[in-house]
């Protein structure tokens, strides 16, 4: 940035203070980038570029030309010295100190350095950022690398060829590869790079480097070492935009998440600063590539062993110039489709479904309801499809999401702790039962209120609503489902002691929520409101079942999964004993329906709902405690 400002005369008549906490007098990193020889970055930085290469190999055999690109190399120390020399040519002070804070008040923007508060018309901030919390499907990996500048007596072959992403090294549960930048026939930088959660350590890297170099070059000596780590994340830097403060480098979000490259982006940004703002179409383009980066990062984080397959296929099947164009985010979407078709397609589709599940799910539900609604009231076939899907939904997620309370409370082992937990659970159920016996209208009110609370809480956490908005949402959903089926709801509630009639609610009552969801640009929420509106044409139990399974249970299940860090199958198995209990109850209820009806003056349906309310009560308390912990309030 300094070099660009200087070149463009923007430092003329300005006083510059350069605050850097490091003396910057060692060659701590290399800056490499792809470019065509006639690009501005090459002509501008010509004096700093010490080396460039025109072709690539991946594992000693097969050399591919990069034409029309070359790979350029700048020593970090040369760039630092250039910055220092520019400071000597302008009215600049280089201060070896740390910036403690950057802020703004009525006098303007300022930096705090120790005791000093220095105001400036323009501040450039490149302090390494913290990142916003990682929320699924965002990923934070590290690209860590350890390399040696070596001198050797062996033969490398063509000096114009660099070795890129050679995966013939142990992967150690990550995606790891070697690269070699040959400076001449007898010196080279050989570096081991890891994409992974854990940083590469010297203990891990040194033996791999040694074996690799020995096998390639024979005896060698180490001239110097390069180590570093670059964040590979699609999470945004946790920074505040401030007037007159320009964020640079990693802090400005300029590191490409899937590659860790930033230098060329930083150069381009510096050149465009104050001369051109990004156009809308540039931003739209970026969103598409951010999305691709996200897919790759997700794969690398969940299936790190797939990394070598993806990159090997990429370089083997796609011409290098096309790959570079893609990494530079300059390809057309048709070229991108062609590139993806050469990669493990199913892996990307699977990742797409998992990472975009929040959109697939409401779309699938919307489709399901449209199928049920397609020609007016349900016919026999549609009704059967509806019930079968709901039955499967109850088996796979409806019951299981509520049958993990013992795991949440960490009472999953068969011992006295579990027995105590079950006794407590039964006691709470009995309390609810007694409330029904004592005053059914009051029990009904309590049942409705805690259902509202529970539904609102799960959705509220999912859509990041405040507790009060969650509560209003929970009540809106329940009232909407009941009110758009007022006759059926009144019949059922009457059996439970409610004497009035449920008011009829037209579906446009959902419009304010739709407006809010659109305003918050939450497509998942928008789709959910749309399908909820369509459930008004289905029978009440089916409409409620779709919300209960398709939204509430799945959302709760996903929250639990993220917290337990267990697989779906593992969680489902853990829920099985209590899910079986629920099915046994239902079977008994169905088989002995007539006897229940004969025994009691209360209708069997009322007994069924009373039981549901009794089971729900302790579950909702457990889930409330869970959500307090989950959202970090406990």
Ligand X SMILES: Cc1cc2nc3c(=O)[nH]c(=O)nc-3n(C[C@H](O)[C@H](O)[C@H](O)COP(=O)(O)OP(=O)(O)OC[C@H]3O[C@@H](n4cnc5c(N)ncnc54)[C@H](O)[C@@H]3O)c2cc1C
Cα separation, 548 vs 539, in Å, equals: 14
Three-state secondary structure readout of 577-603: HHHHHHHHHHHHHHHCHHHHHHHCCCC
Q: Least Å distance between CB 75 and ligand X? A: 11
| H or E, element range at 555 | helix 554-564
- CA angle (599, 605, 607) in 5-degree steps: 55
The answer to whether the beta carbons of residues 239 and 154 sit under 8 Å apart is no
Of 249, 362, 550, 556, the one binding ligand X by CB under 6 A: 249
**Nearer residue to ligand X within complex by CB, 103 or 581:** 103
Q: Does 248 bind ligand X (CB under 6 A)?
A: yes
Helix axes 357-373, 380-393, angle to 10 degrees: 150
Position with the least CB separation from ligand X: 249
Q: Does 250 bind ligand X (CB under 6 A)?
A: yes
**Nearer residue to ligand X within complex by CB, 163 or 579:** 163
Cα separation, 169 vs 188, in Å, equals: 18
Q: Does 228 bind ligand X (CB under 6 A)?
A: yes
Residue 517 CB neighbours (<10 A): 20
Q: Does 21 bind ligand X (CB under 6 A)?
A: yes
Q: Least Å distance between CB 169 and ligand X? A: 19
Q: Does 230 bind ligand X (CB under 6 A)?
A: yes
Q: Does 128 bind ligand X (CB under 6 A)?
A: yes
Strands (E), 337-440: none
**Nearer residue to ligand X within complex by CB, 182 or 228:** 228
Of 30, 193, 524, 528, the one binding ligand X by CB under 6 A: 30
Q: Least Å distance between CB 343 and ligand X? A: 23
Strand partners, 30: 75
Q: Does 127 bind ligand X (CB under 6 A)?
A: yes
What six digits make up the tokens of 539? Answer: 């029978």
Q: Least Å distance between CB 76 and ligand X? A: 7
CA distances from 523 to 77, 360, 460 (A): 48, 11, 15
DSSP letter string over 371-392? HHHTTSS--HHHHHHHHHHHHH
Phi-psi map region of 304: left, alpha, beta (phi>0 left; psi -120 to 50 alpha): alpha
Q: Least Å distance between CB 67 and ligand X? A: 21
Q: Does 98 bind ligand X (CB under 6 A)?
A: yes
Q: Least Å distance between CB 257 and ligand X? A: 12
Q: Least Å distance between CB 123 and ligand X? A: 12
- From the list 192-200, 246-254, 488-496, 622-630, the region that binds ligand X by CB under 6 A is 246-254
Q: Does 474 bind ligand X (CB under 6 A)?
A: no
| H or E, element range at 116 | strand 116-120
- From the list 193-201, 216-224, 258-266, 348-356, the region that binds ligand X by CB under 6 A is 258-266
Strand partners, 225: 148
Q: Does 31 bind ligand X (CB under 6 A)?
A: yes
Q: Does 141 bind ligand X (CB under 6 A)?
A: no
Q: Where along the sequence are the contacts to ligand X (CB under 6 A)?
A: 19-22, 29-33, 98-99, 126-128, 228, 230, 248-251, 260-263
């Amino acid at each position: 940035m300094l070099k660009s400002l200087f070149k463009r005369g923007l430092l003329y008549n300005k006083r510059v203070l350069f605050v850097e906490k490091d003396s910057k007098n060692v060659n701590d990193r290399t800056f490499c980038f792809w470019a065509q020889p006639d690009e501005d970055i090459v002509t501008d930085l010509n004096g700093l570029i010490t080396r460039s290469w025109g072709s690539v190999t991946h594992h000693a055999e097969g050399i591919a030309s990069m034409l029309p690109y070359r790979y350029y190399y700048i020593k970090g120390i040369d760039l630092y010295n250039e910055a220092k020399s520019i400071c000597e040519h302008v009215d600049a002070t280089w201060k070896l100190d740390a910036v403690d804070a950057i802020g703004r008040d009525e006098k303007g923007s300022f930096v705090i350095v120790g005791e000093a508060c220095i105001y400036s018309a323009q501040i450039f901030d490149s302090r390494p950022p913290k990142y916003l919390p990682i929320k699924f499907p965002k990923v934070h990996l590290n690209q860590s690398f350890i390399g040696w500048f070596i001198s050797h007596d062996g033969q490398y072959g063509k000096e114009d060829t660099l070795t890129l992403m050679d995966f013939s090294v142990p992967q150690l549960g990550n995606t790891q590869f070697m690269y070699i930048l040959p400076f001449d026939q007898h010196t080279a930088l050989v570096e081991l790079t890891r994409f992974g959660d854990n940083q590469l350590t010297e203990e891990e890297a040194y033996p791999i480097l040694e074996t690799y170099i020995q096998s390639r070059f024979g005896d060698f000596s180490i001239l110097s070492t390069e180590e570093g780590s670059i964040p590979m994340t699609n999470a945004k830097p946790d920074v505040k935009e401030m007037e007159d403060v320009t964020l640079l480098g990693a802090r400005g979000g300029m590191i490409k998440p899937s590659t860790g490259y930033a230098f060329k982006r930083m150069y381009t940004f510096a050149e465009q600063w104050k001369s051109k703002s990004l156009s809308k179409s540039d931003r739209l383009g970026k969103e598409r590539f951010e999305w691709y980066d996200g897919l790759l990062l997700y794969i690398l984080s969940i299936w790190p062993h797939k990394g070598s397959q993806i990159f090997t296929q990429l370089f083997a099947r796609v011409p290098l110039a096309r790959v570079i164009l893609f990494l530079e985010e300059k390809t057309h979407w048709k070229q991108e489709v062609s590139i993806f078709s050469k990669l493990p397609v199913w892996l990307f589709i699977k990742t797409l479904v998992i990472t975009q599940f929040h959109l697939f799910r409401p779309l699938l539900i919307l489709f399901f309801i449209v199928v049920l609604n397609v020609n007016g009231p349900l016919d026999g076939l549609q009704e059967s499809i509806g019930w079968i899907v709901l039955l499967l939904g109850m088996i796979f997620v409806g019951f299981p999401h509520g049958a993990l309370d013992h795991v949440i409370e960490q009472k999953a082992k068969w011992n006295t702790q579990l027995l105590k937990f079950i006794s407590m659970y039964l006691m709470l159920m009995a309390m609810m039962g007694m409330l029904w016996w004592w005053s059914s209208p009051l029990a009904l009110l309590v049942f409705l209120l805690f259902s509202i609370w529970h539904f609102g809480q799960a959705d509220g956490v999912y859509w990041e609503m405040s507790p009060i908005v969650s509560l209003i949402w929970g009540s809106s959903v329940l009232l909407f489902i009941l009110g758009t089926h007022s006759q059926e709801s009144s019949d059922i509630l009457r059996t439970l002691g409610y004497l009035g009639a449920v008011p009829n609610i037209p579906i446009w009552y959902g419009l304010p929520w739709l407006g809010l969801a659109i305003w918050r640009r939450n497509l998942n929420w928008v789709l959910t409101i749309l399908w909820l509106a369509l459930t008004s044409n289905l029978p009440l139990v089916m409409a409620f079942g779709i919300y209960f399974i398709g939204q509430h249970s799945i959302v709760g299940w996903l929250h639990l999964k993220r917290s337990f860090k267990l697989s779906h199958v593992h969680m489902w198995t853990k829920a099985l004993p209590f899910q079986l209990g629920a099915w046994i109850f239902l079977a008994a209820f169905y088989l002995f329906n007539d006897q229940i009806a004969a025994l009691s003056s209360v209708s069997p349906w009322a007994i069924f709902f009373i039981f549901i309310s009794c089971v729900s009560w302790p579950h909702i308390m457990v889930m409330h405690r869970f959500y307090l912990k989950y959202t970090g309030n406990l």
